[in-house]
Amino acid sequence: MTTYLLLLAEVTSAAESLSDQLQVHGFISQAVLHTTENQWLGDSAHTSFAFTEIGVNSSLRLTPRLLFSGQILSRRAGELSNGTPTIDFALADFNLVSSTHNQVGIRAGRFKNPLGLYNETRDVPFTRSGIFLPQVIYFDKVRNLALSSDGLLFYNDFYLENGNISFSLGGGWPLVDTNVENAYLFRNFSGQLQADNPGWLASFWYSNQSERFKLGLSAMTVDMQFNPNVNALPFTTPGAGHVDLLYLVASVQYNTEQWSFTAEYSREPIEWRQFGQLFPDYKANAEGYYLQTTYRFHPQWEWLLRYEEGFANRADRHGNDLEQISHGFIKKEMGFSKIFSTGLRWNINSQWMLRAEYQLHNGCFILSPRENPDFSQLERNWSLFTLQIGFRF
C-alpha cells in the first residue's frame, strides 16, 4: 500500500510538472468588408463577411532543451480558403547551445518561414500591424507559399554588448496550393502545380539591446513544376513547365514608446520556362515596398498610416508589356498596385480588440485571379472598407 501511494504521488507530481510546462492559447476574429469595385475575400462588392480566423496553439517544454509547439488554424477567406482546419505549424525545437552570449538550435517539422518582420506571426490578428499586412510584401493571394515549410531550420542568436544578431538557415518543402497556381499561371489549368524541389531559406537580423531598432535581410527560393492532366484537351493546357523564384526582403523598424516606423522592400526574380507555345518562356522581376507608421496616442488606441507599391515586373511598372505579351488576356492594371491605408485599433481590454481600416487602391496587382477570374471586369481604381473584431485567450 505504501509503495502504491508513493508511485501515485510521483505520477501526480510528474503530471503537475508537465502541466506547468504546457501552454495553450487561442484567438478568433471576424471581419466585414466592402469594396467599391473588384472582389476581395468574398463578394465584397456587395459586402462580405467571409473573413474569419480561428486558431489554437500550444507549446510543451519537455526538457530545458526540447520544446514542442504547434497551431491549428481555421481560416475562411473568400474563395482563397474555406475554413477547413489545417496545421499552421508543428515543430520540435532542439536547443543545442544556450549561454549568456549565444543560443544555437534546430527546428524540425512544419515551421514558419522567417521572412520579413511579420511572416512568422501573420496569422494572429493581434500581432499584425493592420487588419491586413502590406499586400505587396505579404501576399494573401499566395499566402501558404510564403507562410511555412516542411523541413529543418538552423538558428543561431548572438547577444553582444552593442546589440543582438540572429541568423537562420534552412530548407524545406513549400506549401503549393490552388491559390499559388492561379497567381503564377493566371488561372487554374487542368493539372497540378507543385513543389519540384525543397526550397532554401535564410535570414539575418540585427537589433540593439532595447530592440527599438531592427534591421534584417531574409530570402527563400521556390522551384515549382506544373504537371498537366493527361486527359486535357490539346492547346488548352500548358506543358510540364517550371516556375522558379527567389524571394528577397529587406526590413527596418524603429520603435519609441508611442511611435513605430517601419519600411520593407522586396525583390522577386521569377522565371517561367518549358510550358510550350501556350505559355512562352518569360522572366520578370517583381518588386514591392511600403512605408508605415503607427502612433499609440492612448494606452488603448493606435493609429495606422501606410503607403505601398508593388509591381509584377519592375521593368514594366505600368503593365503595358504584360498586356501585350498576353495578347490582352491579362489587363495592364494587374501589373501594379499603389495603396494608401489608414486605420484605428481599439484595445478594449487584454482580450478584445476592435479595428477599422480604409484602403485606397490604384491597380490590381494584389488581387487573386481566383476571386476575380474575369479580368475584363477589373477596375483600376477601387476602395476597401473593413471592420474587424478579435478575441484571444
Distance CA 205, CA 120 (A): 14
Domain that holds residue 208: 25-392
39 SS3 class? coil
Task: Answer whether residue 16 is part of any domain.
Answer: no
Residue 5 covered by a domain: no
In a domain, residue 12? The reply is no
CB 60 within 8 A of CB 22: yes
Task: Let me know: does 122 contact 144? Beta carbons within 8 Å.
Answer: no
pTM score over 0.75: yes
Q: To the nearest 10°, the Cα dihedral for 47, 128, 154, 267? A: 70
- Cell numbers for 251: 526590413
Grouped pLDDT means (10 residues each) for the chain, 393 residues = 42 50 95 97 95 97 94 96 95 93 96 96 94 97 95 96 94 94 88 92 94 96 92 77 96 97 98 86 95 97 98 94 86 96 97 98 96 93 98 96
Residue 300 forms part of a structural domain: yes
Whether 11 maps to a domain, the answer reads: no
DSSP state of 369: T
Domain count for the chain: 1
DSSP string, 277-319: TTS--EEEEEEEEEEEEEEEEETTEEEEEEEEEEES-TT-TTS
pLDDT at position 272, please?
93
For residues 353 and 351, give the distance between their C-alpha atoms in angstroms, rounded to a whole number.
Answer: 7
Identify the pLDDT of residue 119: 96
pLDDT of residue 19: 61
Task: Tell me, yes or no, whether 13 lies in a domain.
Answer: no
Please give the pLDDT value at position 6.
41
Query: With 0-12 CB in 10 A as exposed, 13-18 as middle and 19+ as buried, what is 350?
Result: exposed
Task: Name every residue whose Cβ is closer than 8 Å to that of residue 323 and which is 6 or more positions away in sequence.
Answer: 330, 331, 332, 335
* Structural domain contains residue 350: yes
Q: Is residue 62 part of a domain?
A: yes
Q: CATH number, domain at 38?
A: 2.40.160.10
- What are the phi and psi torsion angles at 322 (to 5°)? -60, -45
- Residues 253 and 2: their CA atoms lie apart, in Å, by 62
The pair phi, psi for residue 40, each rounded to 5°, is -135, 110
Exposure b/e, 99-134, CB count within 10 A at least 16 = b: eeeebbbebebbbbbbbbbbbbebbbbeebbbbbbb
Which long-range contacts does 68-76 make (Cβ < 8 Å, 24+ apart)? Answer: 68/92, 68/93, 69/93, 71/123, 73/123, 75/123, 76/50, 76/51, 76/52
